[in-house]
Amino acid sequence: MAPRAYWKGILKLSLVSCPVVLYPATTAAEKTRFHMINRETGNRLKQQMVDSETGDVVESEDKVRGYELRKGKYVEIEPEELEAVQIESNHTIDIESFVPRDEIDQRYLDHPYYIAPEGKAAVDAFAVIRDAMKDQERVALAKIVLTNREHIIAIKPLGKGLLGTTLRFPYELRDEDQFFDDIKSPKITKDMVELAGHILHTKAAHFDPSKFKDEYETALKALVKRKASGKTIELPEPEERPSNVVSLMDALKQSLKGRGAKKTAAKPHARRATGRQSSAKKAHRSPARHRKAG
């Protein structure tokens, strides 16, 4: 049985419209969560708001939102003043444009939602919009109001339905230059790049999220189960940290050597990489590269 719809409204493409429902595509229900409890009584604790200066507990009627203008100076914003600027939802997803899939910067992707038609009468119009996007290989951009805030939502076909993903606004993204500007540009030899390329080739795979394992979540569940059954929890010995590798070239060579079982898969790649080189260059290849290409 499908969960309760998060949002209901109309999906519009020009004069074509159909009722749709949105469901959150993600859930945290299966994650292990803890509550704070009183060690002496075993009762759950509850949080209280206290004045940061006096330490007094503040009652609900005295709580109000405030925006910090400068250090310690706030302007109060009343609930009715917030309501005055809130955007009223018209419960419509009005498609404004279609963009190529690969033009959407992955950093803008926020929360995903499943979009499905609501009722049998909506299926035809829904299918027309969905299949048109499939044919054009484009993503629809539209506006939607969720929890009193306007969002841009990117919509694309997913199986029999649609996947809508809210997008972050530009002001929500940090400029990468402030993190990357100080990265130096060292001189890396062609041999190093080729060796790294061979390692990448041996690890080539397809995206398969079913192989993702949340080992920490598994350990948490096991911990809770053992504790609830009255068993003692033994702390593991701390693992010894490996020493830092001094030579990058040695690390690359050792990485290749450690994947002997998959070396055959990398041979065609190695031949392509070295076949264009002159015989004089082949004679001066390092032993590790000679074994790889041979």
Mean local confidence (pLDDT), 180-196: 89
Q: Is residue 263 predicted with pLDDT exceeding 60?
A: no
Identify whether 78 is part of a domain. Answer: no
> Taking all residues of the chain, what is their mean pLDDT, rounded to a whole number?
84
Our CA angle for 203, 204, 208, nearest 5°, is 105
Type of residue numbered 49: M
Q: Is residue 264 predicted with pLDDT exceeding 50?
A: no
Most confident listed range (24-38, 76-90, 161-175, 247-261): 161-175
**Confidence grade of residue 1 (pLDDT, cut at 50, 70, 90):** low
Identify whether 98 is part of a domain. Answer: yes
Identify whether 17 is part of a domain. Answer: yes
Would you state the structure tokens that stand for residue 216, as one six-digit string? 């920490």
User: Percent of the chain, pLDDT > 90?
Assistant: 45
Report the alpha-carbon distance of residue 159 to residue 157 in Å, rounded. 6
Would you state the structure tokens that stand for residue 3, as one six-digit string? 């969960």
Identify whether 230 is part of a domain. Answer: no
Q: What is the CATH number of the domain that holds 12?
A: 2.40.290.10
Identify whether 104 is part of a domain. Answer: yes
Mean local confidence (pLDDT), 120-147: 92
Q: Is residue 122 predicted with pLDDT exceeding 60?
A: yes
Query: Are the CB atoms for 49 and 38 separated by under 8 Å?
Result: no
> What is the domain count for the chain?
1
Residue 122 sits in which domain range? 7-26+86-172
Identify whether 199 is part of a domain. Answer: no
Q: Is residue 283 predicted with pLDDT exceeding 50?
A: no
Q: How remote is the C-alpha of 51 from its chain's centroid?
A: 37
Identify whether 282 is part of a domain. Answer: no
Query: Are the CB atoms for 20 and 126 separated by under 8 Å?
Result: yes
Would you state the structure tokens that stand for residue 248, as one six-digit string? 């990058």
The pLDDT score that the predictor gives to residue 242 is 66
Report the alpha-carbon distance of residue 270 to residue 266 in Å, rounded. 6
| Helix count and strand count (H, E) for the chain | 9, 9
Q: Tell me which of 258 and 149 has the higher pLDDT.
A: 149
Identify whether 150 is part of a domain. Answer: yes
Q: Tell me which of 219 and 155 has the higher pLDDT.
A: 155
User: Percent of the chain, pLDDT > 70?
Assistant: 85
